[in-house]
């Protein structure tokens, strides 16, 4: 290699290594059922009702070296609510609760991320539910990331938050404890 070509190669290598890593975009793997949106709510102070939303989609941006670039956008089909009890699900879809005929979608868009270290953090954002938009915070824990057996790259996270139903215009009285719905989120994304 001539001196000129060597210097050119060295300069190119310096530029490549000096270029900062960019956050990667991921699509949440709902096709493979590697993600879930689950909830639980107090039932009359003596038990818990648990359920999930079967249909949702979303994307997130993530870079372990630049957590400030983290962003999430998720849409949930509210009619896909499933508590394993058809009559209760019809009631939840009614105007007493989700009123899915008018408000067929819940939408979360992140506004920031606070790194707590060791794969833990708090995702801030706005949730639109029942035609009401409120700021919420989601406690996030990284589960892992790496290559999958199909030639892709994945990252996975768990999240928890609690929603105060009256903040979203829900006023059906099932007792004070039932005003809080706890969400448990498991998200696995495929890097694009």
Residue 66 lies in a domain: yes
The number of distinct structural domains making up the chain is: 1
pLDDT over threshold 90, residue 111:
yes
Residue 121 lies in a domain: yes
> Which pLDDT tens digit goes with each residue over 52-91?
999 999 999 999 999 999 999 999 999 999 999 999 999 9
| Percent share of the chain, pLDDT over 70 | 87
Residue 4 lies in a domain: no
CATH (domain of 145): 2.40.128.110
Residue 149 lies in a domain: yes
pTM for this predicted structure: 0.86
Q: In this predicted structure, what is the pLDDT of residue 45?
A: 84
Residue 178 lies in a domain: yes
Residue 169 lies in a domain: yes
Residue 7 lies in a domain: no
**Least reliable range by pLDDT among 20-24, 26-30, 80-84:** 20-24
Is the pLDDT higher at 188 or at 22?
188
Residue 52 lies in domain = 23-191
Residue 91 lies in a domain: yes
**Least reliable range by pLDDT among 16-25, 106-115, 170-179, 180-189:** 16-25
Q: Find out whether 178 and 41 touch, Cβ atoms under 8 Å.
A: yes
């Amino acid at each position: 290699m001539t001196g000129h070509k060597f210097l050119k190669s060295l300069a190119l290598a310096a530029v490549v290594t000096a270029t900062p890593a960019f956050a990667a975009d991921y699509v949440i793997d709902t096709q493979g059922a590697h993600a879930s949106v689950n909830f639980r709510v107090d039932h009359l102070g003596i038990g818990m009702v648990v359920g999930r939303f079967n249909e949702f989609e979303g994307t997130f941006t993530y870079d372990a070296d630049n957590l400030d670039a983290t962003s999430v956008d998720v849409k949930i089909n509210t009619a896909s609510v499933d508590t394993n009890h058809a009559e209760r699900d019809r009631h939840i879809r009614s105007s007493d609760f989700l009123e899915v005929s008018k408000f067929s979608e819940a939408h979360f868009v992140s506004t920031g991320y606070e790194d707590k270290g060791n794969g833990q953090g708090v995702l801030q954002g706005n949730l639109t539910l029942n035609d009401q938009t409120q700021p919420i915070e989601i406690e996030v824990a990284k589960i892992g990331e790496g290559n999958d057996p199909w030639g892709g790259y994945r990252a996975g996270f768990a999240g928890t938050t609690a929603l105060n139903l009256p903040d979203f215009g829900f006023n059906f009285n099932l007792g004070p404890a039932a005003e809080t719905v706890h969400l448990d989120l498991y998200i696995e994304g495929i890097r694009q």
